[in-house]
């Protein structure tokens, strides 16, 4: 961790505050509209004429506060403030510009930026000459290359049993406090990618600072982090996620393989839910309006392999399962349907002290068969069979209701339970070479 990043939580707050302190140079002599109503962070004005997504400023006694246009109704423009402010009736509203893009490109590697593209570290100007649309540049279906090359992550359980492919889209699903963020840190350190983009959306400021502290100087140098803390307004959280995708797309266009980590997709959906409900969308399952769930496939489809540039975006997004519900939670269910695989973390496994707490029986990588050889597939199948048998019969064994010798396959699985647990466990600060993970698996479960 370099000396510029301690106290990042304070830097985040200072950067947010600075947005309201600097007047926009684009302000005209006359305001574009006036505030006519305010409900929480939702504001409505009689102008200016601005498209959805445009950035505006509303005057307050302490200076202009940034806002984002989120809709319009009956001749009124609907906005959400990006920071808390004392907006009064009749306050002037100024159009700052469409702001439909974000800084991007290799110059951002090693930097930490916020929702509006502002630097959150103390390393000086960003120096990014590239701007990329927040909504992305669609990758035509025929320009998408197949997922056929394995991605080494340094995590033995994933590399050997849930092999990821370059350009794959994967969900890391679990309840809170089960080790998702720690596993992401391990992936940043050990994954074999040209560069990494991390979107820390809706995280506590302490966790953002801790995430950075865990990275080595080498990992920091190839990583662009977009950090939007939990206390940021809903439009800021959504913009931060879009900015992370924009950064990854710009790097892919240069032919690089990008590992894009989003923590968490659920909090992005929560942000869109707040926006949707604020403008009057009907609430659906568990209070999610249609726009919140429709956002997930739009984001996921932005990842993948680009056949023209040769670049790739491998997406690994964490999905926070409310109440550890990885079946009926709407965000989990929607994500599972559009992703190319999912890794489930289990609280009971974590409680036993095993890291990573991957529930192998309920996890799946749909692209693994296209990325690895037949010997690894056969060994992984045998490993899953033995682990499933041992777990399914552990209660019978504990009660003394099973006697060895009745089922030779089960006897073997029970005898190897400790060996399997040891294979699945891995120290947090250690990366295992892909070839070593595969060779150990094949040697132990080849028949």
Structure tokens at 48: 């200016």
Domain coverage including residue 389: 375-445
Of the three residues 321, 347, 371, the one that is the final residue of a domain is 371
Nearest to 394 by CA among 366, 414, 422, 364: 414
Q: Is residue 246 part of a domain?
A: yes
DSSP 315: E
Tell me the CATH number at 80: 2.40.10.170
Tell me the CATH number at 419: 1.20.1270
**Same domain, yes or no, for 394 and 313?**
no
Of the three residues 336, 351, 371, the one that is the final residue of a domain is 371
Tell me the CATH number at 341: 3.40.50.12240
What's the angle, vertex CA 54, arms to CA 51 and CA 57, rounded to 5? 125
pLDDT at 282: 93
pLDDT at 25: 40
Of the three residues 347, 371, 395, the one that is the final residue of a domain is 371
Q: Is residue 386 part of a domain?
A: yes
Rounded CA-CA distance 334/315 in Å is: 16
Q: Is residue 420 part of a domain?
A: yes
**Same domain, yes or no, for 84 and 229?**
no
Q: What is the total count of domains within the chain?
A: 3
* Region label for 71, one of left (φ > 0), alpha (ψ between -120 and 50) or beta (otherwise): left
**Same domain, yes or no, for 109 and 64?**
no
pLDDT at 300: 96
Rounded CA-CA distance 111/14 in Å is: 17
Rounded CA-CA distance 164/169 in Å is: 9
| CA pseudo-torsion sign 406, 412, 416, 421 | negative
Tell me which H or E stretch contains 158.
Answer: helix 156-161
| CA pseudo-torsion sign 286, 288, 293, 296 | negative
pLDDT at 224: 97
3 state SS of 414: helix
Structure tokens at 371: 């990325």
pLDDT at 161: 98
**Same domain, yes or no, for 312 and 385?**
no
Rounded CA-CA distance 211/181 in Å is: 8
CA 300 to chain centre: 10
- Per-residue pLDDT for the chain (447 aa), expressed as one digit of tens each? 444 444 444 544 454 444 444 344 444 445 689 999 988 778 999 989 888 888 999 998 888 999 999 999 888 999 998 887 788 899 999 998 776 889 999 999 999 999 989 999 989 999 888 999 999 998 888 899 999 999 999 999 999 999 999 999 999 998 888 989 899 999 999 999 999 999 999 988 778 888 888 889 999 999 999 999 999 999 999 999 999 999 999 999 999 999 999 998 999 999 999 999 988 899 987 889 999 999 999 999 999 999 999 999 999 999 988 777 677 789 999 999 999 999 999 999 999 999 999 999 999 999 999 999 999 999 999 999 999 999 999 888 878 777 787 888 899 999 999 999 999 999 988 999 999 999 999 999 986
* Region label for 332, one of left (φ > 0), alpha (ψ between -120 and 50) or beta (otherwise): alpha
Question: Long-range contacts made by residues 14-19, C-beta under 8 angstroms, separation at least 24?
Answer: 15/114, 15/118, 15/119, 15/120, 16/83, 16/114, 16/232, 17/83, 18/118, 19/66, 19/82, 19/83, 19/116, 19/118
**Same domain, yes or no, for 120 and 14?**
no
Q: Tokens 């930097």 — which residue?
A: 111
pLDDT at 31: 67
| CA pseudo-torsion sign 32, 34, 35, 36 | negative
**Same domain, yes or no, for 85 and 109?**
no
Residue 17: other Cβ atoms inside 10 A: 12
Nearest to 314 by CA among 157, 215, 201, 187: 187
Q: Is residue 239 part of a domain?
A: yes
**Same domain, yes or no, for 93 and 53?**
yes
pTM of this structure: 0.89
**Same domain, yes or no, for 321 and 245?**
yes
What's the angle, vertex CA 182, arms to CA 423 and CA 367, rounded to 5? 60
Q: Is residue 385 part of a domain?
A: yes
**Same domain, yes or no, for 186 and 334?**
yes
pLDDT at 164: 98
Q: Is residue 1 part of a domain?
A: no
**Same domain, yes or no, for 311 and 186?**
yes
**Same domain, yes or no, for 390 and 435?**
yes
pLDDT at 402: 79
Rounded CA-CA distance 49/75 in Å is: 10
**Same domain, yes or no, for 209 and 223?**
yes
Burial class (CB in 10 A: 0-12, 13-18, 19+), 90: exposed
Q: Is residue 248 part of a domain?
A: yes
Structure tokens at 304: 């993948």
Q: Is residue 423 part of a domain?
A: yes
């Amino acid at each position: 961790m370099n000396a510029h990043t301690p106290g990042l939580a304070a830097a985040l707050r200072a950067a947010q505050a600075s947005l309201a302190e600097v007047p926009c140079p684009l302000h005209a002599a006359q305001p574009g509209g006036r505030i006519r109503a305010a409900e929480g962070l939702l504001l409505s004005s009689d102008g200016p004429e601005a498209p959805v997504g445009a950035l505006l400023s509303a005057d307050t006694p302490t200076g202009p506060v940034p806002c984002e246009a989120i809709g319009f109704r009956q001749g009124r423009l609907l906005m959400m403030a990006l920071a808390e402010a004392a907006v009064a009736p009749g306050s002037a509203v100024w159009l700052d510009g469409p702001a439909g893009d974000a800084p991007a490109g290799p110059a951002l590697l090693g930097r930490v930026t916020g929702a509006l593209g502002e630097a959150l570290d103390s390393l000086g100007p960003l120096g990014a000459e590239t701007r990329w649309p927040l909504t992305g540049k669609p990758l035509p279906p025929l320009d998408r290359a197949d997922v056929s090359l394995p991605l080494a992550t340094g995590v033995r359980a994933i590399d050997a049993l849930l092999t990821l492919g370059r350009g794959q889209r994967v969900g890391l699903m679990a309840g809170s406090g089960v080790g998702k963020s720690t596993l992401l840190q391990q992936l940043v350190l050990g994954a074999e990618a040209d560069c990494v983009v991390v979107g820390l959306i809706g995280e506590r400021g302490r966790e953002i600072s801790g995430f950075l502290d865990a990275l080595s100087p080498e990992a920091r140098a190839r990583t662009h982090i977009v950090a939007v803390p939990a206390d940021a307004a809903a439009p800021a959280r959504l913009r931060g996620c879009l900015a992370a995708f924009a950064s990854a797309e710009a790097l892919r266009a240069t032919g690089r393989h990008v590992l894009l980590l989003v923590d968490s997709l659920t909090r992005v959906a929560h942000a869109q839910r707040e926006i949707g409900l604020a403008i009057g969308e009907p609430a659906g399952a568990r209070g999610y309006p249609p726009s919140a769930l429709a956002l997930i496939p739009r984001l996921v489809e932005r990842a993948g392999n680009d056949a023209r540039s040769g670049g790739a975006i491998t997406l690994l997004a964490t999905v926070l399962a409310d109440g550890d519900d990885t079946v009926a939670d709407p965000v989990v269910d929607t994500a599972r349907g559009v992703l190319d695989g999912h890794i489930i973390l289990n609280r009971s496994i974590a409680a036993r002290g095993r890291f990573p707490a991957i529930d192998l029986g309920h996890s799946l990588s749909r692209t693994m068969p296209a990325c690895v050889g037949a010997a690894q597939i056969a060994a992984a199948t045998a490993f899953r069979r033995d682990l499933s048998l041992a777990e399914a019969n552990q209660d019978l064994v504990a009660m003394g209701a099973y006697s060895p010798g009745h089922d030779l396959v089960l006897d073997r699985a029970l005898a190897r339970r400790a060996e399997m647990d040891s294979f699945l466990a891995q120290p947090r600060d250690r990366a295992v070479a892909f070839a070593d993970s595969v060779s150990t698996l094949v040697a132990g479960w080849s028949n």
